[in-house]
Structure 1
Amino acid sequence: MQSTYFDVYAEWQADPEAFWLRAAEALDWSKPVERVFDPDQGAYGRWFVGGETNTCHNCIDRHVKAGRGDQRALIYDSAMNGTKTSFTYDAVLAEVQAIAAVLRNHGVGKGDRVILYMPMVPEAVFSMLACARLGAVHSVVFGGFAAHELAKRIDDSGAKVVISASCGLEPGRIVSYKPLLDHAIDMATAKPDFCLILQRDELHAPLRYEHGDIDFRQAVEVEKVNGTVIDCVPVAATDPLYILYTSGTTGQPKGVVRDNGGHMVALQWTMENLYGVKPGEVFWTASDIGWVVGHSYIVYAPLLAGSTTVLFEGKPVGTPDAGTFWRIVSEYDVKVLFTAPTAFRAIRRDDPDGEYVRHHDLSGLRALFLAGERADPETLKWAETVLKVPVIDHWWQTETGWPMVGNPAGLGLLPFKAGSPTLPMPGYAIDVLDDAGHPVPRGTLGNIVVKLPLPPGCLVSFWNADERFRQSCLEEFPGYYKTADAGLMDDEGYLFVMARTDDIINCAGHRLSTGAMEEVCAMHPDVAECAVVGVADALKGQVPCGFLVLKNRVSRDLGAVEREVIDLVRSEIGPVAAFRTAMVVQRLPKTRFGKILRGTMQKIADGMPWTMPATIDDPGILEEIAEILRQRGYARAAPAVGQDA
């Protein structure tokens, strides 16, 4: 298929407002848009001003009214307890209406904030949609998140309600949520009016009536029996749909605010044009609803597009093995899979030859999309080899809500370039600038920025912190949104995202990308995944230090592997890299979605105060890294001083 990307991108460039207005016509509006873009509203302007709509209506009711109520909307597969079930659009509508009725009966209405502290279960998705139905603003917080961090989010949002569950399921353990929630409410200044608690079979939690605890299932079943009908509440396109908190550098979490109208328009557009997924087809995003990826591409985008989404409770390895992903793709005829590169590095580590792939029929799979962590070329090559489908890296952030740069399967794939997520999507005009704000020559490392205004679907501000949003995202490079990522653009406009700007190290006056060094480390046949950080050096300012996780079947001398990796980096990048230290570790510290915590590792090595990140998957890994650094002579490696926001 000849790509129409350049024609579509040029169409957007020629008339951005007309482009997005045409995209908006795919959705239902209870009140038409008066002005497509108003530059005088908000920090950089607002989209679809004057229009009214409802996100839940467009995700569910619209498809039911179109006669597609008997189509599967959601497939739930839990590798943790063996549960498998699916819900049609009709069934989802019934569940969402019942939850919305419970919320409304207890005083929840338009503009109220509701926190979801939930595991990966269907009730979490239904609750998100129920909030949207009422015009309430939801904020999803990872189930099992630390109590004092949950308390901060309750206070910052002023949450009226918390919807939670008795427990979450992790490999080999049950995580009790209720004591954490109770402790958070005790600490919070803003007290929720009530809590809805979903009792799971694996663990029942005692309800605290002084907190207004209500049994979720019992309350919802009453409304189902009554057949309560809850109409969708029209909201302004510019009204908030959700708040998603990310860690802030000040210790105060920052709440990214997403609006209703622009969010829907952008996500609807991406499903067919970027991912190439049509209504009725199965789309699986292997992530968590606590992340932006889960918000956008487990819940909202697939349902807006009338596709079938998969909700998976489990891990890429260990639940029970490295073939779990292939079972799901085969069993449900998944057409497009979207996950993080770290998931594939874990699968490759446990199954380097792709033996599990051969046990499943993956003939229906058309493409694999990767995002969330830099996709190194070696992982991409391995995935392409074992899956025999296009493996597409694309780049975006919590703040943008949908991809800034990608390779559009729906418009016809463009030529691939290893290490690049390809070209900007319509809506994004991307430049690379030096620290003074001047454009750098093609092929030169610099700050990646996006020209304002940001397109529909991007954040409009931080919750109750407009000035903080301006200062952190818009002030440093006037006229641009600062991505805080560093990279370069080649002569054909392909973007190469090399690292976060704080992962660029200055070694004897040379600006070096840790991402480029990681690419070389990953070329070694024994290396499954790796991380490179800059460590303080009295002579050179900073020098790189590599952490290597080896494939499971490697039984060679570890010191030999470390020396070979050092030689490889010095050969491929040159002595200027000053790459003299590599160390084998059992695991890398990561967030629950797979982002490697390079900044925290750097602080440990430099002896700086560091805090245990609240989103870390396994807190013990950082202590192991600190001990290894001390054994290697980094006596300055410091203990943790608390927990991050």
Structure 2
Amino acid sequence: MPDMPDVAETTDKVGTGSTGAYAEQYRRSLDDPDGFWLEAARAVDWTRRPTRALDDSAAPLYRWFPDGELNTAHNALDRHVDAGRGEQDALLWDSPVTGSKRRYTYRELRDEVATFAGALRGLGVGKGDRVVLYLPMVPEAVIAMLACARLGAVHSVVFGGFAPRELATRVDDARPKVVVTASCGIEPTRVVEYVPIVRRALADTTHRPDHVVVLQRDTKHAELRDGELDWTTLVASARPVDPVPVAATDPLYILYTSGTTGRPKGVVRDTGGHAVALTWSMANIYDIGPGDVWWTASDVGWVVGHSYIVYAPLLVGATSVLYEGKPVGTPDAGAFWRVVSEYGVRALFTAPTAIRAIKRVDPDGAEMARYDLSRFRTLFLAGERTDPQTYHWAAERLGVPVVDHWWQTETGWAIAANPRGLEPLPPKPGSVTVPMPGWDVRVLDQSGKERPSGQEGAIAVRLPLPPGALPTLWGDDDRYIEAYLSRYEGYYLTGDSGYLDPDGYLFVMGRTDDVINVAGHRLSTGAIEAVLAAHPAVAECAVIGVHDALKGQLPRGFVVLKAGADITEEKLREELVAAVRAEIGPVAAFRDVAVVDALPKTRSGKVLRKTMRALADGRDEPVPSTIEDPEVLDRLKAVLRPKR
């Protein structure tokens, strides 16, 4: 068993730059988790208030608020209407791909949710039943999610446009009573028909849902078959239903991790811990409260969309923007700033790749300058490492704090962040700032011993994980333990590498498999990427390790140029190789860099480094179903394949 320092040792190291509210709350969350989280739970409405926070009787399968009972949809909608704020905007839908906009007050959204919940009940959906949602970024996606929560049913959102095989595996795992879909999804350059995809998926499943509900979109209608029900017709005859109380430990949703092969891993989110953690995070991390306009530029198919498009902003009575578009191309690189200006957005949460895409097309910020951003206060980034160059570009042009923070599908909310609402801390470019309350973050070596400050290792979290994190995987406790808890006894393994500096600031450098071994020297590809990204002609980049007979591995770089960059590929290569040699050292043996038109990414913005590594080493790696544009990877294959 690895050495296990006590809580006092850890809290003395974390956030040492702060002696104020953050440090006090962080220490209390580890010293007295019951007291800390029961106090946080007061911000939530309960039908039966919990008397204790942590249940460790089945460790390492921890549960939070075991004797509590509540309903998430009530907390997100009804209580705000009951408090007299029913006419406040709850949801603002903006769809540049269709030219449509729609507003919902809290009262209107509650009524829509209650009615669709009644429609689902009429189809036999009740407490504990599953519903799979395969929908685009439309208000009905939010309505369907909250309707399931209202009934105590468990929803599983599958990203609209996923291939039939991927949808089929999720249907077989969740075994839903109903599948809810739309006639189509709309991309900037094409219309994706969803109903044929759903039909092909269900033809391959062993489990058959009782019903398929189809939302007809104006862009493309679907001809329905027997067993397929029209959303509008179904709702017209439905009666609204009241919220159904559920145990705090009951599941709210299942979200399948991206890039899985074979049987997918269904991350479970429990109801009580989820509501408490997200409510705490909105006030203390994001500094957002009732009436504030908040925009998460993500998708409801991802955890970011679940947590911070739908649930968290509505739990605290904020106004949430739902956007069906892209950062560039719908119609231009000013799309984000138009939305921020038009709705008076106070804070935006998006992926670094979105900002890099904007920077690439509009490096001087000319499009940004066209809009009034005076009400904008903070830019939050997560999903990929934010390189210092992107951080500085955004901070300088926006003139507001840029907050990089770090979390995962499994964790549901930030492991590390800058707590803007609790105590804003001095930022450090390249760092995700400090661990949040409940997250006992350690950096371990291969034997499980803690690494000294400044030295990179595997980032792990000492158990128990705080409320809001996954309690298990759907239907498979053993797989949960084997996948996440078995590497280091007593710890959750994040799969990321990084280090803590002497001030307790956390630097996340990338996945642990993004550490390469060059002639016995372990190097972080994230560190090399930071050097490449600093070049004024580079918009974004990726570095992978490829097999080398002499040195074991060598780094290969791929860079995308900024629009209008005036430099030859040969000159750029010389300058980048020299920069890596100067910043990292000759030991990196960095000589191979190629200019490409784009990097292959998932729809959430993560670069497909694992797939790129496999191709470079001559292996056939399954292409993740979450890929944004398969053609980008196809164009790269000629560059990536090893030379014979």
TM-score, L = length of structure 2: 0.96
1:154-173 alignment runs, 5 A limit: 154-173=171-190
Q: Using the alignment, how far apart are the partners of 2:31 and 2:583 within structure 1?
A: 42
1:635 Cα deviation (Å)?
Answer: 2.7
Q: Using the alignment, how far apart are the partners of 2:165 and 2:470 within structure 1?
A: 26
Partner of 1:254: 265
1:535-550 alignment runs, 5 A limit: 535-550=546-561
> Does 1:205 find its partner at 2:222?
yes
Q: Using the alignment, how far apart are the partners of 2:324 and 2:260 within structure 1?
A: 31
2:65 is paired with a residue whose SS is strand
Greater displacement, 343-352 / 44-53:
44-53
1:160 Cα deviation (Å)?
Answer: 1.0
Partner of 1:635: 643
Partner of 1:183: 200
Q: 2:216–2:222: 8 Å Cα contact kept in structure 1?
A: yes
Cα gap change, 1:361 to 1:2, in 2 (>3 Å) = farther
2:542 is paired with a residue whose SS is strand
Cα gap change, 1:426 to 1:309, in 2 (>3 Å) = same
Partner of 2:514: 503
Partner of 1:101: 118
1:43 Cα deviation (Å)?
Answer: 3.4
Q: Using the alignment, how far apart are the partners of 2:51 and 2:27 within structure 1?
A: 25
Partner of 1:319: 330
Given candidates 236, 256, 265, the residue that maps to 1:221 is: 236
1:73 is paired with a residue whose SS is strand
Partner of 1:520: 531
Residue identity opposite 1:204 in structure 2: H
Q: Deviations over 1:436-492 (max 9, x none)?
A: 111111111100000100000000111111111101100110011000100011111
Q: 2:60–2:464: 8 Å Cα contact kept in structure 1?
A: no
Percent identity of equivalent pairs: 59
Q: Using the alignment, how far apart are the partners of 1:400 and 1:38 within structure 2?
A: 18
1:353-502 alignment runs, 5 A limit: 353-502=364-513
1:560 is paired with a residue whose SS is helix
Q: 1:34–1:50: 8 Å Cα contact kept in structure 2?
A: yes
Q: 1:114–1:159: 8 Å Cα contact kept in structure 2?
A: yes
Partner of 1:242: 253
Q: Using the alignment, how far apart are the partners of 1:531 and 1:346 within structure 2?
A: 14
1:571 Cα deviation (Å)?
Answer: 1.0
Given candidates 74, 90, 96, the residue that maps to 1:73 is: 90
> Does 1:270 find its partner at 2:281?
yes
1:448 is paired with a residue whose SS is strand
Q: 1:3–1:411: 8 Å Cα contact kept in structure 2?
A: no
1:217 Cα deviation (Å)?
Answer: 1.4
Residue identity opposite 1:441 in structure 2: P
Partner of 1:284: 295
2:634 is paired with a residue whose SS is helix
Q: Using the alignment, how far apart are the partners of 2:192 and 2:47 within structure 1?
A: 43
Q: Deviations over 1:135-160 (max 9, x none)?
A: 00000001111001100000011111
Q: Which has the higher contact order (CA 8 A, sep 6+)?
A: 2
Cα gap change, 1:38 to 1:2, in 2 (>3 Å) = closer
Gaps of 5+ in 1: 637-645
2:45 is paired with a residue whose SS is coil
1:25 is paired with a residue whose SS is helix
> Does 1:26 find its partner at 2:26?
no
Residue identity opposite 2:608 in structure 1: L
Q: Using the alignment, how far apart are the partners of 2:57 and 2:632 within structure 1?
A: 48
1:610 is paired with a residue whose SS is coil
Given candidates 107, 116, 136, the residue that maps to 2:153 is: 136
Q: Using the alignment, how far apart are the partners of 2:524 and 2:225 within structure 1?
A: 52
1:43-82 alignment runs, 5 A limit: 43-82=60-99
Q: Using the alignment, how far apart are the partners of 1:93 and 1:2 within structure 2?
A: 42
Q: Using the alignment, how far apart are the partners of 1:385 and 1:411 within structure 2?
A: 24
Q: Using the alignment, how far apart are the partners of 1:495 and 1:261 within structure 2?
A: 28
Q: 1:242–1:257: 8 Å Cα contact kept in structure 2?
A: yes
Q: Deviations over 1:268-327 (max 9, x none)?
A: 000010001121100100000000000000000000010000000000000000000000
Residue identity opposite 1:152 in structure 2: T
2:273 is paired with a residue whose SS is helix
Q: 2:76–2:315: 8 Å Cα contact kept in structure 1?
A: yes
Residue identity opposite 1:341 in structure 2: P
TM-score, L = length of structure 1: 0.96
Partner of 2:135: 118
Gaps of 5+ in 2: 1-17
Q: Deviations over 1:189-233 (max 9, x none)?
A: 100100110000000001121xx110001211333xxxx230111
2:553 is paired with a residue whose SS is strand
Q: Using the alignment, how far apart are the partners of 2:145 and 2:133 within structure 1?
A: 8
Partner of 2:620: 609
1:548 is paired with a residue whose SS is strand
Q: Deviations over 1:384-420 (max 9, x none)?
A: 0110000000000000000010001102311111210
Residue identity opposite 2:269 in structure 1: R
